[in-house]
Amino acid sequence: MGNKPENAIVLFNGKDLNGWHARNGGDAGWEVSDGVITVKKGTGDIVTDQKFTDFMLHLEWMEPDMPEATGQAKGNSGVYLQGRYEVQVLDSYGIEVPGMGDCGAIYNQHAPLVNACKPALEWQTYDMVFRGARVDDDGNVVDQARVTIMQNGQIIHNNVEMQGPTGGAMDENVGEPGPLLLQDHGNPIKYRNIWLVELPLKGSDKY
């Protein structure tokens, strides 16, 4: 994971927010400069125009330096897979045993296996392999969504199963493709180098 393949879909072109919109449907309001997107407080979450089912995702982010802040107020943002499952972005550097709200957590469902966080003001990476939920013809979930996540080169989730959408999800239609969403939680997190590779839903039935 980590090196951009030729078939990658580049979600952030480094220049503007073409291909993104605000969660409320208007223009994406975050700031872009020098190949970096910065959360602009109060403009809301931003969402890709494209929707995806199974994919490998790479992105990089940087925490602001907020030495006085603690807990959920310390550099909070989030990466919502399919707009439904939040992978927490937070300044959790140095926390010995990260919990289900700390950086790298599948929010309020799965704590990261280890604390792989770097300090504020250093670029960090997420590489994720995501498999969307599978539903039957009646829309009942037969396989929950799953994800494996590497943060800064360390595995923090090993094929964990979602228990359904996390808080703040865009919808509950887990059998449908969904966009990538980045969360405005009021703190100036920076993002760059965002791309993904769509994966086939299954291999052939041929021996």
- In the bound state with Mg ion, the residue whose beta carbon lies nearer, of 55 and 107, is 107
DSSP 11: S
Detail the DSSP E strand segments found in 41-153: 46-48, 55-62, 77-81, 85-89, 123-131, 134-135, 141-143, 146-151
Of 38, 81, 71, which is closest to residue 169 (Cα–Cα)? 81
Report in angstroms how near the CB of residue 148 gets to Mg ion at its nearest.
20
Q: Between the CA of residue 103 and those of 16, 78, 114, 163, 180, what are the distances in Å? A: 27, 9, 10, 19, 18
Report in angstroms how near the CB of residue 19 gets to Mg ion at its nearest.
22
Single-letter code of the amino acid located at 88: Q
- In the bound state with Mg ion, the residue whose beta carbon lies nearer, of 90 and 145, is 90
- In the bound state with Mg ion, the residue whose beta carbon lies nearer, of 118 and 134, is 118
Report in angstroms how near the CB of residue 85 gets to Mg ion at its nearest.
12
Handedness of CA 105, 109, 110, 115 (dihedral sign): positive
Which range, of 92-100, 127-135, 171-179, 180-188, touches Mg ion by CB under 5 A? Answer: 180-188
The residues in 67-126 that bind Mg ion, with binding defined as CB under 5 A, are 76, 78
Max CA-CA distance within the chain?
60
Count residues binding Mg ion (CB under 5 A): 3
Q: Which residue is nearest to Mg ion (CB)?
A: 78
Told to check if 187 binds Mg ion by CB under 5 A, we report: no
User: How far apart (Å, rounded) are the C-alpha atoms in residues 47 and 104?
Assistant: 20
- In the bound state with Mg ion, the residue whose beta carbon lies nearer, of 54 and 156, is 156
- In the bound state with Mg ion, the residue whose beta carbon lies nearer, of 78 and 178, is 78
Contact residues: Mg ion, CB under 5 A: 76, 78, 183
